[in-house]
A and B are shown apart, each in its own frame.
Chain A
Amino acid sequence: MIKLTNVTKTYQMGEMMVHALRGVDLTINEGEFVAIMGPSGSGKSTLMNVIGCLDIPSGGSYTLDGLDVSQMSDDAQAKVRNQRIGFVFQQFNLLPRTTAEKQVALPLMYGGYGRTDRLTRAQEALASVGLGDRTHHKPDELSGGQQQRVAIARALATNPSIILADEPTGALDTQSGEEILNIFKALHGQGMTIVMITHDPEVAEHAQRTIWIRDGVIV
C-alpha cells in the first residue's frame, strides 16, 4: 500500500545542498508494523515526512493506496492526510488551550463530519486510548503520556489506513513510553498499518520489521 520508488529529497541550506534522501525504494504492506531506524541526520524524518505527505519528494514516485501522491496539489494532499494518515509526533503537537475532545475532533471537522458525529467519534477514540474520563482536559492539565495518547486518538479519529509515528516515545519516560507502544501493538493487532521512526533499538524491537536508513539510503 506504500510504495516508494527511487525517491530523492534535496534541501537548500544556505549555500549548501543537503541530499536528505538519495534514492529510496521501499514497500510497506497493509497491516505491517514497521520501524524505521537510523542515526540522526540519516534522513529518517525526511522519509516519514514524505510518506506522510507533509513534504514533497524532489524526485522519484510515491504511491499510497494506489494513488500517485507525489504529483498531487496541496489541497489534494491535505485530503489524503485527513482521510488516510494519522500522525503521532515526538512533541505531541496538540493545540494549546484546547480540550482533548476538540483536539481529536479537529481532523473530523476538516473531514466534513457533523458536529454530533464528531463528538461521538472523538469520545470513542479517546476511550480507546484509555482517556474516556479526560475529554475536557487541556494539554497543560495532562501528563506527557496522556498528551501523547490524545495525539494517538486524534490520529485514529478519521479511521486512517496508516499511523505515522515520529519518535513517539522520545519525549516520554520509560513507563509512559511502554504504554504508548502497547497501544500501537494493540492497533497493529487490529490490522492497522503502523510506520514508526525511532533511533532506539529497544523501541524498534516492538515492530514486526525494522528498516535501516543511513545517509539517505536504505541499507
Chain B
Amino acid sequence: MNLLESFLTAIDSLMANKMRSILTMLGVIIGVAAVIALLAIGNGVTASVTDEIQSIGSNLLTITTDMDNSDGLPALSLEDVDALADPLRAPALAQVAANVSGQQEVVYAGDSTAYTVNGITANYLAINNLADFSAGDGLTENDVATNGRVAILGSTVVAELFGGEYPVGKSVKINGVSYEVVGVLAEQGQTIGASPDETVYIPISTAQSRLFPTRTRSGAKAVNSISAEVVSEALTDDAITQVTDVLREEHRITYAGEDDFSILSQTDLLATFDAVSATLTAFLGSIAGISLLVGGIGIMNIMLVSVTERTREIGIRKAVGALRRDILIQFLLESLLLSLLGGALGIGLGVAIALLTGPALDIDPVVETATVLLATGFAAGVGLVFGIYPAWRAAGLRPIEALRYE
C-alpha cells in the first residue's frame, strides 16, 4: 500500500469517527492554546514595563544618599547640584536637576487631602520626561530663585481637589501657606514609583525653607535625589565616574572612605527589571508547562482508549491482509493529522485569547514563534507517541488475538 493510499485511509477513518477525532484534538487544542495565551501575556507585560522604563529616558542617572555611609543624615545638597552642573568638572552631564519631597496636607476650598509634595528645580520636569501640561506652564528659574509660592498639580490632584473647576490662577494651601497654581500636568498613567498624577510640584527653594528643612552633615539644605542627564547613552560609564569624583570631592571623602551616595542608572534599572521579568516569564512558563502536561495527559488518555477500542478493527484489517507496516502508517498519519490540525486550532485559539485579554490587562500580548513551535511540537509529540505505541502493540498481535479482543 503506498503512502497516498494510507493517507486517504487515515482521512476516511478520521471522518468516519468524527466525535473521537474531535475529542482527541481537544486535548491538543487546549494545551497549545493555554501555553500560547499565557506566554503571550507574560511577554506583553515584559515589553510594556521595558517600554515604561525606557520612556523615562535611558540616559538618566539618579543619585541618592547612601544612609549607611552618611551617619543617617542626607548627604546631597543644591551645592552638589551646582558642582555637577559645572561642565568643566562633569563634562559627560548635560543637565542636572534635584528634588526634595514628602507627604503634606494640601487644602483647597476647605477640602484637605494628603499628597506627595515635591520641591523641584526648574529643569526637573523636563529631565524626567514629565514636562507635558494640560493647562498653564512649568516652573521658571525665577520661581526657584525667589522662593516663589507657586505650584504645579498632577492630574489626579486636580480632579480630586477641583472637580470640574479650572485650577490655574487659584490657590491651594500647604502647611498654612498659599501657593498659586500655575500649571497642571497631563495624565501620566501607570508609572514605576510615586505617581506624578498624585503629586504637587513646588520650587525646591520654597520646599526647603518652608516644608522640608532637613540639613546635611555639613549644614547645607538637603535634597532627596539628584537627576543627571548624560550627554549620550554611550557616556554613561564616564558620567558615573565623573559624578563619583565630583561628589567625593565636594563631600571631602578620604581616599579610603566609602561613598555617602549611590548612583542608579537606567541601565541598572533595566537590568534589575530584566531579572524580574525573567522570573515572571519562568513563572508563567511553568504554569503553561503544567497546562501542556495536563493537555498531554488528555491526549494520551484518548489515544490509549481509542487505539485499545480499535484493536478489533486492527484485527479485521490484518485478517484481510494488512501488513504490520500498513497499520502503523495509518495510525501514525491519523495521529499526525489530528495533532497538526489540533495544533493549528490551538494556535488560533491561544492568539485569540491573548488578543482578547490583552486590552483588559492593559498590555500588548506578544506571541513568539518559539512558543508556538514548542507548544505545537510537544502536543504533536505526545499525540504521536501515545497514538503510535498502542497501535504498534496491537499491530504486533496475532490477528486472531486482535479479533477476539473485547
| A interface residues, Cβ below 8 angstroms from B | 49, 52, 54-56, 74-75, 78-79, 81-83, 87, 89, 93-98, 102, 106-107, 109-112, 154, 158
Per the bound structure, the CA–CA distance linking A204 and B315 in Å amounts to 28
Whether a CB of chain A sits under 8 angstroms from the CB of B142 is no
A residues less than 8 Å from B320 (CB atoms) = 81-82, 87, 106-107, 110, 154
A79→B325 CA distance, assembly (Å): 13
Q: Which 5 A-B pairs have the closest CB atoms?
A: A82-B321, A107-B320, A54-B400, A110-B321, A97-B16
List chain B residues, Cβ under 8 A from A49: 400
Q: How far is the CA of A114 from the CA of B380 in the complex (A)?
A: 32
CB distance from A209 to the nearest CB of B (A): 25
Residue of A nearest to B9 (CB): A109
**Assembly CA distance A83 to B12 (angstroms):** 24
CA distance A110 to B322 in the complex (A): 6
* Residue from B317, B320, B326 whose CB has the most chain A CB atoms within 10 Å: B320
Q: Check A102 against B12 for contact (C-beta < 8 Å).
A: yes
A89-B403, A109-B9 known; 6 new pairs, CB 8 Å cut-off, are: A54-B399, A78-B321, A78-B322, A83-B321, A110-B317, A154-B320
CB distance from A96 to the nearest CB of B (A): 8
Cα distance A67–B17 in the bound complex, in angstroms? 40
The answer to whether B264 has its CB under 8 Å from any CB of chain A is no
**In the complex, what residue of chain B is closest to A138 when comparing beta carbons?**
B16
Number of interface residues of B (CB under 8 A): 24
Residue of A nearest to B4 (CB): A115
Which residues of chain A have C-beta atoms less than 8 A from B399's C-beta? 54-55, 81
CB of B403 within 8 A of CB of A93, answer yes
**A54 CB to nearest chain B CB (Å):** 4
**Bound Cα distance A79, B322 (Å):** 8
- Which residues from chain A contact B400 at a C-beta distance below 8 Å? 49, 54-55
B398 and A95 contact, CB distance less than 8 A: no
Query: Are A93 and B319 in contact, with the CB atoms below 8 A?
Result: yes
Residue of B nearest to A52 (CB): B319
Enumerate chain B interface residues (CB-CB to A < 8 A). Answer: 1, 5, 9, 12, 16-17, 312-313, 315-326, 398-400, 403
Q: Is the CB of A110 within 8 A of B326?
A: yes
A47 CB to nearest chain B CB (Å) = 12
Considering the complex, give the chain A residue whose CB is closest to the CB of B325.
A75
Whether the pair B17, A81 counts as a contact (CB closer than 8 A) is no
- Closest Cβ of chain B to A147, distance in Å, is 13
How far is B14's CA from A98's CA once the two chains are assembled, in angstroms?
A: 11
A74 adjacent to B17 (CB under 8 Å): no
Q: Which chain A residues lie closer than 8 Å to B324 at the CB level? A: 74-75, 78
List the B side residues contacting A106 at CB < 8 Å: 317, 320
Identify the closest chain A residue to B12 (Cβ): A102
Min CB distance, B3 to chain A, in Å?
A: 13
| A107 contact set on B, CB distance < 8 A | 320-321
Distance A200 CA – B312 CA, assembled complex (angstroms): 27
Q: Are B12 and A109 in contact (CB under 8 A)?
A: no
User: In the bound complex, do residue A109 and residue B313 qualify as a contact, i.e. CB atoms below 8 Å apart?
Assistant: no
Please, could you name 17 A-B residue pairs with CB atoms under 8 Å apart, sorted by A? Answer: A49-B400, A54-B403, A55-B399, A78-B318, A78-B324, A93-B315, A93-B316, A95-B317, A96-B313, A97-B16, A106-B320, A107-B320, A109-B1, A109-B5, A110-B317, A110-B320, A154-B320
Q: Which of A74, A79, A87, A96 contacts B319 (CB 8 A)?
A: A87
On whether A54 and B321 interact (CB within 8 A), knowing A95-B313, A97-B17, the answer reads no
Chain B neighbourhood of A82, CB < 8 A: 320-321
A81–B317 touching, CB < 8 Å: no
Nearest-neighbour CB distance to chain A for B17, whole angstroms, equals 6
Q: How far is the CA of A29 from the CA of B25 in the complex (A)?
A: 52
- Residues in B whose Cβ lies below 8 Å from that of A93: 312, 315-316, 319, 403
A109 to B317, CA, bound (A): 10
A89 to B312, CA, bound (A): 13
* Minimal beta-carbon separation of A111 from chain B (angstroms): 6
Minimum CB–CB distance for A112 against chain B, Å: 7
Q: How far is the CB of B363 from chain A (nearest CB, A)?
A: 47
Give which listed residue, B16, B312, B316, B398, contacts A55 with CB less than 8 A. B398
Could you say which residues of chain B place their CB within 8 Å of the CB of A95?
A: 313, 316-317
- The residues of A that contact B398 with a CB separation of less than 8 Å are 54-56
Are B17 and A54 in contact (CB-based, < 8 A)?
Answer: no
Closest to A92 in B: B316
Task: Report chain B residues within 8 Å CB of A110.
Answer: 1, 317, 320-323, 326
> When chains A and B are docked, how far (Å) is the Cα of A98 from the Cα of B310?
14
What is the CB-to-nearest-CB distance from B9 to chain A, in angstroms, rounded to a whole number? 7
